[in-house]
Chains A and B, each alone.
Chain A
């Protein structure tokens, strides 16, 4: 399951260069931080704050790419580049999709560090 959402070679390379134990801690930090990033994205959307919206999406993208969560990273990147949509409904759908994808990533990462 993990193989679908986390790019194995990126993750293995990270473990090799930073140490598996450290990566486990880093995943823990990400799992603590990411829900706040997702919440901040929704908050920026609700307050129609384009700059913050882009920055949060940028931050999430950056972390996803670090761990090899490439498809979630690509979704975040799309929001970063696009910024707030003219139609809030479109963003609501995108944010729901992002939440769902994150749930998959979180489960996969947890599996990887405990597996």
Chain B
């Protein structure tokens, strides 16, 4: 178990208890601050970062239960591990603490050996949780990370209105056959970085990357004022970025890359799919299929950005879109009106 120095806060109204806990924790190498009641503890938690709170239950002004309730409502402090230390009588109080979100319970007088073990375990769990959060942050936008966090990583779905985008590099597989493997990966990474910037800059969320293709969602999990407009602007920026990328000096003599983008809007089923260990935010449904078909159709249509009728209708006159007429896609009962969007 990792034994690192942590910043701990002890909240206890009894001076003898406070000093004794402080002593035990300092002997274990931790840095300890003291609060004489719940209110003071919350003030200190708001001011400075702590790794763990040791909380007494029976305190004047604000008791331990109230502190736990406050922490549960605070997004920033919700994951702070709390170990309740109390000489409180009866199992009910212990159960209530755990239900209110306390990580663990230690009866007073606190046994120093148990204290050390519980603190070690709590800090280790916190470290893992922080790591998990960091991973989520790296692969999702801040908004999705917060949404995931707020929903407690609840898997489950709901129907939402959203705009879905698919994009990929045309002829990438053939191109990658001719490139050294390192260069292929470097090219992909640069491409993804540029696409992520354009998409998240417009409030979209990249939720899938497969080879040279990606899927992005606009308007979910967080609502956007104009998801169709945001998606189309992101697509236009993506094309600009690719054009600039092709002009870079170190790309001289190399084949330029071209991308195709398909965008469709409508009702989708959105949610976190996967298992407790590994989950991703995704959308499924007809709208998603249509966006994928439109992206595939960019090659045949000879246009970089294709959108469906619903997206075009939402855009109105804001963006020039050229009607290409109805197209019969595989798996669709009826032909779909397709529009091509020009570069901005």
Interface set of A (CB-CB < 8 Å, partner B): 17-19, 22, 25-26, 29-30, 33, 52, 54-55, 58-59, 61-63, 65-66, 77, 80-81
Known A17-B24, A58-B87, A58-B88; judge A63-B60 contact (CB<8 A): no
Residues of A within 8 A of B27 (CB): 17-19
Check if B108 is an interface residue, CB within 8 A of chain A: yes
Which residue of chain B lies nearest to A80 when distances are taken between CB atoms in the complex? B89
User: Any chain A CB within 8 A of the CB of B236?
Assistant: no
Question: B31 on the interface (CB 8 Å rule)?
Answer: no
- Indicate if the CB atoms of A18 and B15 lie closer than 8 Å: no
Extra contacts, 4 of them, besides A26-B16, A59-B13 (Cβ < 8 A), are A17-B24, A62-B108, A63-B16, A80-B89
Partner of A26, one of B19, B87, B108: B19
B156 to chain A, nearest CB (A): 42
A29 to B16, Cβ gap below 8 A?
yes
Query: B20–A18 contact, CB under 8 A?
Result: yes
Whether A17 touches B14, Cβ cut-off 8 Å, given contacts A29-B19, A58-B58, A66-B20, is no
Main secondary structure of the interface of A (DSSP, over half): helix
Distance between Cα atoms of A33 and B36 in the complex (Å): 14
**How distant is the Cα of A26 from the Cα of B15 in the complex, in angstroms?**
9
Are B109 and A66 within 8 A (Cβ)? yes
Which chain B residues (74-96) contact chain A, with CB distance < 8 Å? 87-89
B23 within 8 A of A: yes
- In whole angstroms, how far apart are the Cα atoms of A19 and B27 in the complex? 10
Judge if B274 is at the interface, Cβ distance under 8 Å: no
Interface readout for B1-31 with A: 1 if CB under 8 Å, 0 if not? 0000000000001111101100110010000
A contact residues around B13 at 8 Å (CB): 59
Least CB distance, B306 to chain A, in whole angstroms: 70
Does chain A have a CB within 8 A of B112? yes
Number of A-B contacts (CB under 8 A): 54
Q: How far is the CA of A89 from the CA of B89 in the complex (A)?
A: 26
CB of B97 to closest CB in A, whole Å: 15
Q: What A residues does B14 contact at CB under 8 A?
A: 33, 59, 62-63
Give the residue name and chain of the A residue nearest to B14 (CB).
A59
Task: Tell me the smallest distance from the CB of B163 to a CB of chain A, in Å.
Answer: 57
The complex places the Cα of A9 from the Cα of B23 at a distance, in Å, of 20
Instruction: Check B109–A65 contact: CB distance below 8 A.
Output: yes
Q: B59: nearest residue on chain A (CB-CB)? A: A55
Which of B23, B58, B88 is within 8 Å of A18, CB to CB?
B23
Cα–Cα distance between A33 and B12 once the two chains are bound (Å): 14
Report whether A66 and B17 are in contact in the complex, using a CB–CB cutoff of 8 Å. Answer: yes
User: CB within 8 A of A66: which of B16, B58, B60?
Assistant: B16
Minimum CB–CB distance from A113 to chain B (whole Å) comes to: 14
Selected from B23, B109, B112, the residue in CB contact (under 8 A) with A62 is B109
Known contacts A55-B60, A80-B89; A62/B17 CB under 8 A: yes
Q: Considering the chains assembled together, what is the distance between the CA atoms of A17 and B15 in angstroms?
A: 19
- Assembled-state Cα–Cα distance A66/B16 (Å): 9
**12 examples of A-B residue contacts, CB within 8 angstroms:** A18-B112, A22-B23, A29-B19, A30-B16, A33-B15, A58-B88, A59-B13, A62-B87, A62-B109, A63-B17, A65-B109, A66-B20
Q: Is the CB of A66 within 8 A of B15?
A: no
The contact of A81 among B17, B19, B89, by CB within 8 Å, is B89
Q: In the complex the two chains form, is A59's CB within 8 Å of B20's CB?
A: no
Q: Output the nearest chain A residue to B90 by Cβ-Cβ distance.
A: A81
A52–B58 Cα distance when bound, in Å, is: 10
| Chain B: minimal CB distance from A21 (Å) | 11
Do residues B58 and A59 form an inter-chain contact, with CB atoms below 8 A?
A: yes
Report chain A residues within 8 Å CB of B17.
62-63, 66
